[in-house]
Chain A
Amino acid sequence: MNGLLMLENALQFVGAFVAFSIAIVSYKGVKQTRSSSLLRLAAAFVFLGAGFMLEGLAGFSSVDLLPGFEVSLTTLLISGLFLETAGYFFLAFSHMLDVVFDKKMGVMLALFPLMAINQSSLAVVLTSLSFYFILYGVVETLFAYSKNRNPNTLLIASGLALLAGGWWISLVSPDGLLLNIVQLLMKEVGLVTLFIPVLMFSFTKKGGWDGPV
């Protein structure tokens, strides 16, 4: 079980790396195009990256790898979760703005996770909110795919869906070795999928804007 915890904590740092990479590419885009969409994307992934890092630190201190952090374990964990929730909120918020400006039929999810109502713990509330925001991001990204038919959009939607699935498992069944492994695998594959557009952006040299359609 300890090994699994270590893997989960290491995964938080992989998540931080992926999130900060996306944030850096988005920020480069903001500097070159002054796009507000990219600014929100950069903000979302800075929050997510910082959140993953704090949760990873909290995790390592809980298995005595970072003894100096023991005192502030709860603070670290809650701060990490808060930052992560803020990141997912910004991701969902970008889609919400698209819905508002486009006056399209946005798919607003009304199913608030029941776990948030039944338990009063702040960590559970934040986790539930994160789950809700990712789920909204999944639905809106799939909606965008139905319009643009860009395979990368489908990849991102799948990655977010896997992350949402991982969150869901951790919400409904926090214990259980097999489910923990499944949850970890889902999060791992989800994160790697999110990294694909960054890799494609780094390795693909594209000509430029073709002009008004």
Chain B
Amino acid sequence: MAQYRTQTKIIADILATARDMNTAGDGVGITTLLRKGNVSYARMTKLIADLVGNGLLVEMNIEKNSKYRISDKGLSFLQAYGQFEDFAQSFGLRL
């Protein structure tokens, strides 16, 4: 059964994809983020805009295509998410 994901979990998933799939160092396209993030296109574009606005993702324009890579702030977020996910899970809750 598919499990409900909180907004925080979706953001962590997107950031982790931007971190892990950026093997060539030239960023990750929105198609990859959509495939791994498992949210609709409309919601993804809004989330990406928020993440870029908050400095968690960095937008790179390569050959007229927008690509994204995770920022240092985004990496810190993932670090904190990992720690607090365990803490919340101890109380039977999800982040």
Question: Contacts A29-B87, A35-B88, A212-B37 given: A207-B82 contact, CB under 8 Å?
Answer: yes
Interface positions of B from 1 to 60, Cβ below 8 Å from A: 3-4, 6, 8, 12-13, 15-17, 19-20, 36-38
B65 at the interface (CB under 8 A from A): no
Assess whether A212 is in contact with B36, with CB atoms less than 8 Å apart.
yes
Assess whether B93 is in contact with A197, with CB atoms less than 8 Å apart.
no
Assess whether B89 is in contact with A153, with CB atoms less than 8 Å apart.
yes
Assess whether A101 is in contact with B37, with CB atoms less than 8 Å apart.
no
Q: Once the chains are docked, how many angstroms separate the CA of A144 from the CA of B3? A: 13
Assess whether B82 is in contact with A35, with CB atoms less than 8 Å apart.
no
Q: Which residues of B contact A98 (CB under 8 A)?
A: 93-94
Assess whether B77 is in contact with A211, with CB atoms less than 8 Å apart.
no
Q: How large is the interface on B (under 10, 10 to 19, 20 to 34, 35 or more residues)?
A: 35 or more
Q: Which residues of B contact A209 (CB under 8 A)?
A: 12, 15-16, 78-79, 81-82, 85
Assess whether A208 is in contact with B78, with CB atoms less than 8 Å apart.
yes
A175 at the interface (CB under 8 A from B): no
Q: What is the CB-to-nearest-CB distance from A207 to chain B, in angstroms, rounded to a whole number?
A: 6
Assess whether B88 is in contact with A37, with CB atoms less than 8 Å apart.
yes
Question: Contacts A37-B6, A209-B78, A211-B16 given: A143-B92 contact, CB under 8 Å?
Answer: yes
Interface of A is mostly: helix
Question: Contacts A101-B4, A152-B89, A197-B87 given: A38-B79 contact, CB under 8 Å?
Answer: no
Task: Give the residue among A152, A156, A197, A212 with the most B Cβ atoms within 10 A.
Answer: A212
Q: Which residues of B contact A155 (CB under 8 A)?
A: 90
Q: Once the chains are docked, how many angstroms separate the CA of A103 from the CA of B4? A: 9
Q: Once the chains are docked, how many angstroms separate the CA of A207 from the CA of B90? A: 18
In-complex Cβ contact of A102 among B3, B13, B19 (8 A) = B3
Q: Once the chains are docked, how many angstroms separate the CA of A58 from the CA of B80? A: 39
In-complex Cβ contact of B93 among A41, A103, A201, A212 (8 A) = A41
Q: What is the CB-to-nearest-CB distance from A142 to chain B, in angstroms, rounded to a whole number?
A: 8
Assess whether A140 is in contact with B82, with CB atoms less than 8 Å apart.
no
In-complex Cβ contact of A29 among B12, B76, B78, B88 (8 A) = B88
Assess whether A41 is in contact with B16, with CB atoms less than 8 Å apart.
no
In the assembled complex, 22 residue pairs joining A and B whose CB atoms fall closer than 8 Å, in A order, are: A32-B76, A32-B77, A33-B77, A94-B91, A98-B93, A98-B94, A102-B4, A148-B89, A152-B89, A152-B90, A155-B90, A197-B87, A201-B83, A206-B82, A208-B75, A208-B78, A208-B83, A209-B15, A209-B16, A209-B81, A210-B16, A212-B16
